[in-house]
Amino acid sequence: MRRYFYILLIFFVGLGFLPMINGKNTIEANQLLDIEKLDHAISQTNGEVTEWSLYARENINSFTNKGFAQYSKNMQETFSDFKWMTKDEGEEVKVVGTRKTSHGEETITIQHTLGNQHAVSYIMYEIRGNQKSLGVNTSNYLKKQFIPNMEIIFNTKPLIFSCIKGEFNDTLEEVLSNQAVEMMSILDAKETESLREEDFQSVSAYSKQMSRSIPTKNSEMNIQLGLRKSGMGTKTTFVIGTPILTIEY
């Protein structure tokens, strides 16, 4: 059953990059980011955050080898405070820039792969943090730096994947009966499907609070919550994300 869940996850990731995704990426200065809404729900249910991330990716099929080289050069000049590395394996070139701040580690990845018919390229921008909560300073940084940087990096407005990982100091059964229900209530999330095992559970849901959604067979979804027993079962590890999970658990 767990294998079935991961197959679904990969399938939804593929859907996540299709043009039929609903919503906008426009962020006002006083508008809450989706990840802030998730963080608030976790805080209200006494969850402890151990890791969080924002991730966006854009596929580009029009790059020539020369065009890719010029684009990657421009990115390195624009983001000169990143540390850049290039890995060239002939048919695949990957250029990666990283920067560490007090808010987390940012990564820009630009990859160009030669195929039988044409070249395929993608651009990825991610920030990962390990704070126990986002906090006002980090939230402001995301709005004033990370989101505006996306407009420089990407040609379109790609889907932003928001994900938070952490723990509850209760057993899986207690969390399912209490914190999980309360989190979904705070987010106004309605369950669309779920997967249950002895030491693991995942829930897919839809909430009007989230800015984007992806289509499923019978409806739409934009929240995934994964829960599993931790250690001897006295704690429960959780991962919650929108529109789907991008952190393993």
Q: Which pLDDT score, from 0 to 100, does residue 117 have?
A: 65
Summarize pLDDT for 21-68 with one digit per residue, the tens.
444 444 444 578 999 999 999 999 999 999 999 999 999 877 888 888
Summarize pLDDT for 69-121 with one digit per residue, the tens.
999 999 999 999 999 999 998 789 999 999 999 999 999 999 999 766 678 89
Range 95-121 burial, b when 16+ CB lie within 10 A, else e? bbbeeeeebbebbbebbbeeeeeebeb
Instruction: List the structure tokens of 181.
Output: 């229900």
Q: Which pLDDT score, from 0 to 100, does residue 30 have?
A: 57
Q: Which pLDDT score, from 0 to 100, does residue 14 have?
A: 44
Domains of the chain and CATH, by start: 2-242 (3.30.2030.10)
Q: Which pLDDT score, from 0 to 100, does residue 152 have?
A: 94
pTM comes to 0.85
Instruction: List the structure tokens of 24.
Output: 């906008």
Phi/psi of residue 150, nearest 5 degrees: -60, -35
CA atoms in the 13 A half-sphere facing the CB of 14 = 7
Instruction: List the structure tokens of 123.
Output: 């651009």
Distances (CA, A) of 132 to 135, 160, 167, 216: 9, 21, 11, 32
Orientation of helix 34-44 relative to helix 179-186, angle to 10°: 140
